[in-house]
């Protein structure tokens, strides 16, 4: 899919484009605002996508195939992208294997930019 990078390899909040399948949806509150969180996985590692001020986004659901673009950061020790631009894709990545048990939260895969 693309080149994998590790948290230690990227500098100050690089802008990247990632692709994968949404494996988990969470609802949280950050700074008193609702936040929609989606864990994106390409089969070997993952990234958290967080939309502040959103409770739901049509099409962002478990099993959705998403391409997201934005700046990387770290939140609670996990690689995170806040308020990314995104595209929903028809199943091209749905055949990806499940996230591996050894995947680290600080790994980012499928960098397609």
- pLDDT tens per residue, range 4-63: 555 555 556 688 898 999 999 999 999 999 999 999 997 777 899 999 999 999 999 999
**Other CB atoms closer than 10 Å to residue 17's CB: what's the count?**
16
**Is a pLDDT exceeding 90 seen at residue 109?**
no
Check if the beta carbon of residue 31 is closer than 8 Å to that of residue 53.
Answer: no
C-alpha torsion 1→99→10→69, nearest 10: 60
Residue 98 has pLDDT above 60, yes or no: no
Rounded CA-CA distance 20/8 in Å is: 21
pLDDT computed for residue 103 by the predictor: 52
pLDDT surpassing 50 at residue 2: no
pLDDT in tens, 76-90: 888 899 999 999 998
Mean pLDDT calculated for residue range 60-75? 93
Asked whether the beta carbons of 41 and 96 are under 8 A apart, the reply is yes
Residue whose C-alpha is closest to residue 25's, from 41, 2, 5: 41
* 32 DSSP 8-state letter: T
- Residue 8 phi/psi, 5-degree rounding, is -70, -20
pTM for this entry: 0.75
| DSSP label at residue 91 | S
Query: Does 29 or 100 have the greater pLDDT score?
Result: 29
Q: How big is the CA angle at 53 (ends 50 and 59), to the nearest 5 degrees?
A: 60
């Amino acid at each position: 899919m693309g080149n994998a990078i590790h948290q230690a390899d990227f500098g100050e909040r690089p802008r990247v484009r990632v692709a994968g399948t949404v494996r988990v949806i969470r609802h949280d509150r950050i700074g008193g605002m609702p936040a929609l969180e989606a864990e994106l996985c390409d089969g070997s590692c993952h990234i958290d996508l967080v939309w502040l001020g959103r409770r739901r986004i049509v099409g962002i659901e478990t099993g959705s195939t998403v391409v997201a673009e934005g700046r990387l950061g770290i939140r609670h020790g996990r690689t995170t992208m806040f308020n990314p631009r995104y595209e929903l894709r028809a199943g091209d990545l749905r055949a990806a294997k499940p996230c591996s048990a050894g995947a680290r939260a600080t790994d980012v895969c499928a960098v397609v930019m």
